[in-house]
Amino acid sequence: MNSTVAFVTLGCKTNQFESAAMSEQLQLAGYNQVDFEDGAELVVVNTCTVTAATDAQSRNLIRRARRLNPAARVVVTGCYAQIDPERLRQLPGVSLVLGNQEKAHLLEYLTTTPDSGQVAVSDIRNERTIEPLSLQTFDQRSRAFVQIQNGCNAFCSYCIIPYARGRSRSVPLAEVVNQVVQLSANGYPEIVLTGIHIGCYGQDLEAKTDLLGLLRAIEASEFSGRLRLGSIEPTELPIELYRYIADSPWICPHFHIPLQAGDDQVLMRMNRHYTAEYFLELIEDVQRLLPDSAIGLDVITGFPGETSEEFANTYRLLEQLPFSHLHVFPFSKRAGTPAAQMSGQIPAPVAKQRAAQLRQLGEEKYVAYCRRFIGRELELVIEGGEVDGVRRGLAENYLPVRVVAGKECQGTLQKALIKDFRDDTLFGELL
């Protein structure tokens, strides 16, 4: 087989991982992967449905695929396909709509399903186990991702993901460890553990375990690279876990912890089960144990009913928090979630103006954090994208650093001395 295939992926790292796994599956079957813009014969659109805007973006990509190649066979999968398959099926050119659970069998569906707008989307809410996708390589990347679980049990009032991904389901511990070891042996210097709700890892397995148990199993294995954790909820980051990370130089000192709001009343309306004070004490304790750690936060502005004082409480909390990275999202109504029906919907311009204020604060914190490392050494995974001999390296604390490095350095760990920070960029020199 020499048919061409292109993948276009929206959304989270879990989607990115699943696209890479599907891509490898097709390439092993003889497909030739090309860029989306090349007008492939088969186009797989792996969608996101976090907001109405991402739904619209997915539909636009489907239409664009047909413009690039009117004869293209378009397969749509991902969270939007899971939530609203019929709308996607009706778009011109869509030959197959697959749910999230069906991704693992993409090749089988391609060979057995007529090219006539078929839908294969099961009720993912009834799933109790996960059929993990596996990878031998991670195409065109210097770091590899390993999916350790899928689904979410939280049901935050603004989020559609539990409906699109189902309940939390963990990949068996031995399978995760084997995947981590194998990818490391295949030359990937950094492995990222990813999922929708990784703090729930292991609680649904017959032999119950948790994220700390998984990390200990990886440490006891033949793994020899460095490891990074994906996003983890504040209520699922016990002191035993971050103490273990503090004592484990092979685990990146990098935490991505969703805050969402710094006001207790807003947190209650969001169905987030902690207080601003709890969050502050947690982050300060993490920072005491790992003073140089990167701490990334997510915040939503303009949540229904958010008053000026409630927003001010979020701003004041962020001023106190020792974070390094801030991701800010103006609230966007998502049909099918409780928040979409709440009273007190905030006008979009107000939500965007508040987001701009927080982004400015986040930029100031990021600059201050970066400048702390001038004159110090960081360990980098050297990535691609060379321009005039300069490549991007990603430090253990999630800081991008520009260094002069040859092609032979790509995909390796290198020590660098940080020399300068300018134009929002760190520059270093390989040692």
DSSP labels for 202-254? TTTSSS---HHHHHHHHHTTT--SEEEE----GGG--HHHHHHHHT-TTB-SE
* Distances 262 to 259, 314, 359, 393 between C-alpha atoms, Å: 7, 4, 15, 33
Question: Which pLDDT score, from 0 to 100, does residue 51 have?
Answer: 84
Question: Which pLDDT score, from 0 to 100, does residue 130 have?
Answer: 82
Q: Is the pLDDT of residue 281 over 70?
A: yes
101 DSSP assignment: G
Place of tokens 């604060």: 361
Q: How far apart are the first and last CA of the chain?
A: 46
Question: Which pLDDT score, from 0 to 100, does residue 268 have?
Answer: 98
Question: Which pLDDT score, from 0 to 100, does residue 140 have?
Answer: 61
Question: Which pLDDT score, from 0 to 100, does residue 180 have?
Answer: 95
Q: In this structure, are strands 390-395 and 425-430 parallel, antiparallel, or unpaired?
A: unpaired
pLDDT band at 125; cut points 50, 70, 90: confident
Question: Which pLDDT score, from 0 to 100, does residue 139 have?
Answer: 64
pLDDT band at 259; cut points 50, 70, 90: very high
**DSSP-derived 3-state class of residue 47:** strand
Mean of the per-residue pLDDT values of the chain: 93
What is the CA angle 137-140-145, rounded to 5? 50
Which of 125-139, 184-198, 361-375, 406-420 shows the lowest per-residue confidence on average (mean pLDDT)? 125-139
Average pLDDT over residues 340-364: 97
Closest CA to 326 of 279, 287, 362: 362
More confident residue, 136 or 101: 101
- CB neighbourhood size of 59 (10 A): 18
Question: Which pLDDT score, from 0 to 100, does residue 159 have?
Answer: 94
Q: Is the pLDDT of residue 327 over 90?
A: yes
Q: Is the pLDDT of residue 31 over 70?
A: yes
Q: Do the beta carbons of residue 382 and residue 389 sit within 8 Å?
A: no
Question: Which pLDDT score, from 0 to 100, does residue 1 have?
Answer: 56
Q: Is the pLDDT of residue 210 over 90?
A: yes
Q: Which two tokens stand for residue 217?
A: 């199993």
pTM over 0.85: yes
Question: Which pLDDT score, from 0 to 100, does residue 126 have?
Answer: 86
Domains, in order of start, for the chain: 4-122 (3.40.50.12160), 143-371 (3.80.30.20), 377-430 (2.40.50)
Q: Is 76 exposed, middle or buried (0-12, 13-18, 19+ CB in 10 A)?
A: buried
Q: Do the beta carbons of residue 264 and residue 271 sit within 8 Å?
A: no
Q: Do the beta carbons of residue 143 and residue 192 sit within 8 Å?
A: yes
